[in-house]
């Protein structure tokens, strides 16, 4: 069984750097809150100037997991969906490169604006700010695409201890759990959870070639979605009930059209319930979380989209006071 594995590499900057000890211990009267990014880091470039890179990093993983699954440090998709995934990644790459060029071109103005915001910190800002060359070399996105034959005896042997269908079921259960864990009333209007349920269905449909149970899951979700879109007082309650069921990986693999039909029957017989139409469907994620950098370095976010930190390389410039 031939598939395609994408191995992405994303490198960007957060615009912050580790807070030097002499500033932490400083008693010169300057207001540290004006430049503090978080405990232990100082914000040199404003967050809005680099926010696009955090958004791109999250989008990469979202695209690769929408119709694929994690696979030995990369993401496995079917040959059928590989071209579509490739095009989506190319769009993100273009966005990243355009944003990098824009940041490099606007860097002088950004630094001047930052100095105006915190004039007492001008010396720190100017000495720590990256150059145009630093920006060009520290921000990039690319990937390797390689075919993988799942029928290969060596791969089959390795997967015995961690079967793909279980891995995928866990990913789907996490999607359901993540939605259910969000605060209510903070997203777009509509049937709560319907977008998440459709995303799980899209993933199941794309991975049916790996296990026929995902075909049953696709059909079962279709029953629920069709019913929800027809309206009715119990539509939202039914979708949320399905997501609660699917927060268990074992239930994901067992959910089929028969169970979906039975669940609809139960909801129909239940007292009428009108859900809050202000759902939490796909709220905008916060891209502002920034970890501490190594002492003396502007923070470089160099990692694959699985959020596993990668070692810093000697090719990354060191920006010091």
Q: Mean pLDDT of successive 10-residue segments in the chain (321 residues)?
A: 93 82 58 61 87 96 97 95 97 97 96 89 86 95 96 91 93 96 72 94 96 96 91 76 95 94 72 42 38 40 41 31 21
pLDDT at 314: 31
pLDDT at 286: 39
Q: What is the largest CA-CA distance in the chain?
A: 71
pLDDT at 224: 93
Query: Which H, E and C letters describe the chain, residue by residue?
Result: CEEEEEEEEEEEEEEEEECCHHHHCCCCCCCHHHCEEECCEEECCCHHHHHHHHHHHHHHHHHHHHCEEEECCEEEEEHHHHHHHHHHHHHHHHHHHHHHHHHHHHHHHHHHHHHHHCHHHHHHHHHHCCCHHHHHHHCEEEEEEEEEECCCHHHHHHHCCCCHHHHHHHHHHHHHHHHHCCCCCCCEECCCCHHHHHHHHHHHHHCCCCCCHHHHHHHHHHHHHHHHHCCCCCHHHHHHHHHHHHCCHHHHHHCCHHHHHHHHHHHHHCCCCCCCCEEEECCCCCCCCCCCCCCCCEEEEEECCCCCECCCCCCCCCCCC
Please, which residues have CB within 8 angstroms of residue 76's CB and are 6 or more apart in sequence? Answer: 3, 4, 5, 68, 69, 70, 148, 164
Residue 66 neighbours by CB distance under 10 Å? 17
Packed helices 213-229 and 164-180: angle between N→C axes, nearest 10 degrees: 20
pLDDT at 125: 86
- Rounded distance between C-alpha atoms, residue 81 and residue 74, angstroms: 16
């Amino acid at each position: 069984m031939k598939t395609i594995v994408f191995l992405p590499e994303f490198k960007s900057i957060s615009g912050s750097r580790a807070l030097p000890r002499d500033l932490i211990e400083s008693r010169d009267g300057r207001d540290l809150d004006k430049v503090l990014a978080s405990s232990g880091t100082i914000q040199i470039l404003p967050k809005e100037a680099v926010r696009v890179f955090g958004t791109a990093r999250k989008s990469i993983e979202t695209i690769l997991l929408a119709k694929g699954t994690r696979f030995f440090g990369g993401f496995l998709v079917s040959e059928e969906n590989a071209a579509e995934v490739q095009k989506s990644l190319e769009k993100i790459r273009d966005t990243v490169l355009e944003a990098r060029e824009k940041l490099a071109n606007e860097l002088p103005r950004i630094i001047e604006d930052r100095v105006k915001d915190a004039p007492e910190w001008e010396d720190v800002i100017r000495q720590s700010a990256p150059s145009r060359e630093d920006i060009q070399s520290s921000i990039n996105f690319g990937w390797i695409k390689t075919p993988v034959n799942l029928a290969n005896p060596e791969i089959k042997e390795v997967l015995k201890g961690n079967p793909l269908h279980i891995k995928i079921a866990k990913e789907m259960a996490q999607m359901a759990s993540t939605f259910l864990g969000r605060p209510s009333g903070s997203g777009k209007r509509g049937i709560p959870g319907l977008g998440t349920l459709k995303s799980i269905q899209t993933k199941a449909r794309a991975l049916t070639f790996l296990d026929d149970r995902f075909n049953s899951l696709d059909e079962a979700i279709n029953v629920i979605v069709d019913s929800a879109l027809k309206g009715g007082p119990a539509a939202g309650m039914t979708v949320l009930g399905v997501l609660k069921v699917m927060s268990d990986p074992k239930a994901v693999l067992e959910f089929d059209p028969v169970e979906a039909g039975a669940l609809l029957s139960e909801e129909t017989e239940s007292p009428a319930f009108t859900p809050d139409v202000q759902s939490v469907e796909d709220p905008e994620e916060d891209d502002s979380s920034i970890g501490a950098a190594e002492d003396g370095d502007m923070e470089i976010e160099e990692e694959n989209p699985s959020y596993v930190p990668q070692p810093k390389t000697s090719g990354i410039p060191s920006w010091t006071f």
